[in-house]
Structure 1
Amino acid sequence: MYKVYGIPNCDTVKKTLTWLKDHNIPFEFHNYKTEGISAEKLKEWSKQVGWEVLLNKKSTTWKGIDPAVQATVTSVKNAVSLMKENTSLIKRPVIELNNEVISVGFDAASYEEKFRSKLTA
């Protein structure tokens, strides 16, 4: 089963959940705000897609972080630490299947491709 990680009041997460429901794709939702996220999971994702993909530098949360702190984020270790502390910095949603990241963010065209076998089943 797919696992969707995010924050329920995020517009991008809402779009994703709606898309999955509209296409009858079963999923489990993991809410960062209530369930948190482990450093191990963030490291695992970073190995798969890169911490640069996961860290949302366009977010208002990132823009609110002291520039001196921002400047320290130059490695997986520092990025993971900051994302664990501020889950709003993680680009959303992250979708996994069997612990493999299949998508970061929302892109309907990409979803059509990634979920094609489920859509025709």
Structure 2
Amino acid sequence: MLIYGLKNCDTCRKALKSLPNARLVDVRAEALDRVTLQRAWARFGAELLNTRSTTWRGLDADERSRDPLELIAEHPALMKRPLIEAEGEFHLGWTPETRRALGVD
């Protein structure tokens, strides 16, 4: 199981603590590969883009209108997190639904 996120993200740390067999992939240190990013986008669409982040608010209108996958690749903090890959399926966020799907109480 892989948790794509940021090592200093509190939500990612909570997920990692609850999923001891998971490995955190810090997307700032290890860029998310294009295929994984495309698969996640196909599953979640615009939900994958964190438009409430400080990084998003710092972008001008021209930058915001660019291809979202390119933006996430250039600015990993723009990806909503954690993005969890388990048994070939993606889960986004550390929501009650995600925890239920992963068998975490």
Q: TM-score, normalised by structure 2?
A: 0.88
Quote the offset at 1:31 in angstroms. 1.1
Partner Cα separation in structure 1 for residue 102 and residue 88 of structure 2: 16
Please name the residue that 1:11 is paired with: 10
Partner Cα separation in structure 2 for residue 30 and residue 12 of structure 1: 14
Please name the residue that 1:43 is paired with: 38
Partner Cα separation in structure 1 for residue 51 and residue 71 of structure 2: 12
Deviation larger for 31-40 or 85-94: 31-40
Partner Cα separation in structure 2 for residue 94 and residue 56 of structure 1: 12
Please name the residue that 2:94 is paired with: 106
Q: Does 1:95 align with 2:84?
A: yes
Residues paired across the two proteins, number:
105
Q: TM-score, normalised by structure 1?
A: 0.77
1:112–1:83: structure 2 CA closer, same or farther, 3 Å change rule? Answer: closer
Q: Does 1:115 align with 2:94?
A: no
Partner Cα separation in structure 2 for residue 45 and residue 112 of structure 1: 18
| Stretches of structure 1 lacking an aligned partner (at least 5 in a row) | none
After superposition, the CA RMSD in angstroms is 1.7
| Stretches of structure 2 lacking an aligned partner (at least 5 in a row) | none
Counting aligned pairs with the same residue, the percent is 30
